[in-house]
């Protein structure tokens, strides 16, 4: 293994980027892979494409397929899907698949291939916000993409043994993130998206997340999560939870610059307070050994779930933003959630 390979793995091993070859014994364990992808020119985004393979329903998995287009059109491919075989042509467990979506590891922490071939509900972000989408209005969507990782893995290692030794506040936050391990990697994408009988070649950027963990969500009160990679190769990412009554706050971040991952903390966080189709200010600031990194941002290519009883009445924003940092611009991801009592529509 080269030094460059070790850097890309963020302290993990190549096996961490493979998948479970069989159903885990713990019914609460999950294998999850998701991607957030954005066309470089801003025509469309895929603000979370992913699979949640939970041991309790191993052969029938949750699939998410969010598609958002400039002008407000959205496609929603969420549903359940039959599991695919985890084994690739070389016999290794490299494939996480369900229903219309297949995600395949080509080279751990370096290259993945993903494809989708299935139907999605067709509508607008305004209909999503108003809960007036017609579930019978559906359209075929297909994509075929090669993903090349553009920065090292940013790792959250919350093994059960480690969490058991944490103070209570830290243990609760670790549980919300997932007991096990999780990482994310900034990436560049190339491929095609086909819809309405037309095929659109594109290049883009995005984020890949992989986890094998148990994730208790009791006490989860919202979050803000953003990341992007820029034309010169710099990138950032952070996840923050609202400050609790006892003053504790989970807040972790990184700045990727000049070939180095700089540990950081978000000091300006755009919590979800307005639910609007586009144009919400979501600028941020990160503090690290580099000083204060200020990144301007405005939301675009958004999807929403409004009033979710399954997650404690939180409103959920999964979308994109156009980020600007020292004169450079790039599209990147944003996911936010807040209780419905803290948000207004419009």
Domain ranges of the chain: 3-14+28-210+223-345
For 163, the token pair is: 């969490």
Q: What angle do CA 185, 189, 192 make, to 5 degrees?
A: 145
pLDDT at 244: 86
Please determine, for residue 164, whether its predicted confidence score (pLDDT) is greater than 80. Answer: no
Long-range interactions of 276-279: CB distance < 8 A, separation 24+: 276/345, 276/346, 277/72, 277/124, 277/125, 277/126, 277/129, 277/302, 278/72, 278/125, 278/302
Work out the percent of the chain whose per-residue pLDDT is above 90.
83
Q: What is the pLDDT of residues 232-269, one digit of tens each?
A: 999 999 999 999 888 889 999 999 999 999 999 999 99
Which candidate, 5, 3, 21, places its Cα nearest to that of 13?
A: 5
Residue 312 confidence (pLDDT):
75
Matching residue, tokens 């450079």: 328
The predicted-structure confidence for 95-116, as pLDDT tens digits, reads as follows 999 999 999 999 999 999 999 9
The answer to whether the beta carbons of residues 36 and 47 sit under 8 Å apart is: yes
What's the rounded Cα separation, in Å, for the pair 243 and 298? 24
Q: Residue 124: is its pLDDT beyond 90?
A: yes
Residue 165 has pLDDT above 70, yes or no: no
Q: The whole model's pTM is what?
A: 0.94
* pLDDT score at 262: 97
Q: What is the pLDDT of residue 178?
A: 59
Q: Which residues contact 198 (CB under 8 A, 6 or more apart)?
A: none
pLDDT, one tens digit per residue, over 295-329 is 999 999 999 999 877 677 899 999 999 999 999 99
**Residue 60 predicted with pLDDT over 70:** yes
pLDDT of 278 over the 90 cut: yes
| Both structure tokens of 212 | 């094998």
Q: How far apart are CA 301 and CA 56, in angstroms?
A: 33
Give the C-alpha separation, 31 to 23, whole Å: 10
Kind plus residue range of the DSSP H or E element containing 127: helix 125-130
pLDDT-derived band at 173, boundaries 50, 70, 90 = low
179-234: pLDDT as tens digits: 788 999 999 999 999 999 999 999 999 999 999 988 665 567 899 999 999 999 99
Closest CA to 205 of 149, 121, 271, 288: 149
Count the residues in the chain: 346
């Amino acid at each position: 293994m080269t030094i460059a390979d070790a850097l890309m793995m963020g302290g993990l091993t190549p096996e961490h980027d493979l998948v479970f070859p069989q159903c885990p014994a713990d019914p609460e364990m999950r294998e999850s892979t998701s991607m957030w992808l954005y066309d470089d020119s801003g025509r469309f985004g895929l603000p979370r494409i992913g699979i949640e393979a939970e041991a309790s329903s191993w052969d029938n998995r949750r699939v998410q397929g969010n598609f958002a287009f400039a002008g407000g059109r959205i496609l929603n491919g969420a549903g359940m899907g039959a599991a695919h075989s985890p084994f690739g042509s070389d016999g290794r467990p490299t494939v996480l698949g369900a229903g219309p979506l297949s995600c395949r590891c080509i080279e751990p922490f370096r290259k993945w291939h993903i494809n989708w071939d299935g139907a999605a509900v067709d509508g607008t972000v305004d209909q999503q916000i108003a809960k007036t989408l017609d579930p019978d209005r559906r359209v075929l969507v297909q994509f075929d993409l090669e993903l090349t990782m553009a920065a090292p893995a940013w790792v959250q290692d919350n093994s059960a043994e480690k969490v058991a030794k944490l103070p209570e506040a830290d243990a609760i936050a670790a549980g919300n993130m997932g007991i096990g391990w999780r990482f994310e990697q900034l990436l560049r994408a190339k491929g095609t998206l086909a819809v309405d009988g037309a095929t659109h070649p594109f290049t883009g950027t995005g984020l890949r997340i992989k986890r094998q963990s148990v994730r208790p969500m009791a006490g989860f009160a919202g979050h803000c999560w953003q990341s992007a990679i820029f034309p010169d190769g710099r990138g950032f990412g952070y996840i923050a939870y609202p400050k609790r009554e006892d003053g504790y706050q989970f807040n972790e971040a990184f700045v990727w610059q000049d070939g180095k991952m700089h540990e950081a903390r978000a000091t300006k966080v755009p919590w979800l307070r307005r639910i609007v189709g586009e144009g919400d200010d979501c600028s941020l600031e990160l503090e690290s050994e580099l000083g204060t990194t200020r990144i301007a941002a405005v939301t675009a290519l958004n999807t929403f779930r409004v009033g979710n009883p399954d997650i404690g009445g939180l409103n959920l924003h999964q979308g994109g933003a156009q980020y600007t940092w020292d004169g450079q611009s790039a599209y990147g991801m944003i996911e936010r959630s807040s209780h419905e009592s803290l948000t207004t529509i419009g």
